[in-house]
Copies of this chain bind each other. A is one copy, B any other.
């Protein structure tokens, strides 16, 4: 069993989360750490996508991962087995992370001096969308078995996503899922959103995901 730090985080004391998120983004910029906030329903494939991204980018960036969950540490252990620093954040029952909670994670010694940190938010398509974590970009996953109606039902999540991965495309033929309709609905909710079809299980599409991340990091460094 990989040995990972489990961080029990506290509810934030900041009244104004948006302000705290802007502060965190400025601090991240100053220390040259690009933070991606990854959101989805439970079981959409967040951790397996993170593993695929690590596979592609660990030669290029010093990567770290913060895994948030109500309970358990299976995700952080899976990441730690790749050799990348990982911590498990326990939210004490809370259904999302805000900027103050994200900062508590970033202050963990394992997360110091890294170029790219991926925050895997609590599996939830509702609450995490309402709280800016202070990340530089938001990535979300919708997996094929969840259904193509999700942008209609959870519009806020799609409206805050910069990158949408449509995961589990390897089982597309077994489900009634209209990829074109999802792309169209996502584009309406977030004009300019990037949508990439992937299979984290089979490793399909992650060259494209890695290229998107690299581009965003380059643009952010110039910005």
Contact = CB atoms under 8 A, between A and B. Distances in A.
Contact of A150 (B43, B95, B155): B43
Q: Is the interface of A mostly helix, strand, loop or mixed?
A: loop
Interface in A68-125: 69-72, 74, 93, 95, 122-125
A153 B93 contact: no
Given A42-B41, A145-B43, A127 B95 contact: yes
Contacts of A145: 43, 143-146, 168, 171
Given A126-B95, A127-B127, A150 B70 contact: no
A156 B125 contact: no
A72 B126 contact: no
A130 interface: yes
Copies in the complex: 2
Nearest to A124: B126
A153 B144 CA distance: 21
A55 interface: no
A57 B53 CA distance: 47
A166 to B, nearest CB: 13
A14 B94 CA distance: 21
Nearest to A171: B174
Nearest to A174: B171
A77 to B, nearest CB: 11
25 contacts: A41-B42, A41-B43, A42-B147, A42-B154, A43-B145, A43-B146, A43-B147, A43-B150, A44-B146, A70-B154, A71-B152, A72-B149, A72-B153, A74-B152, A74-B153, A95-B126, A95-B127, A122-B126, A124-B125, A124-B127, A144-B145, A145-B146, A170-B174, A171-B171, A171-B174
Given A71-B154, A95-B126, A124-B126, 8 more contacts: A41-B42, A43-B146, A70-B153, A72-B149, A72-B152, A93-B156, A95-B95, A171-B171
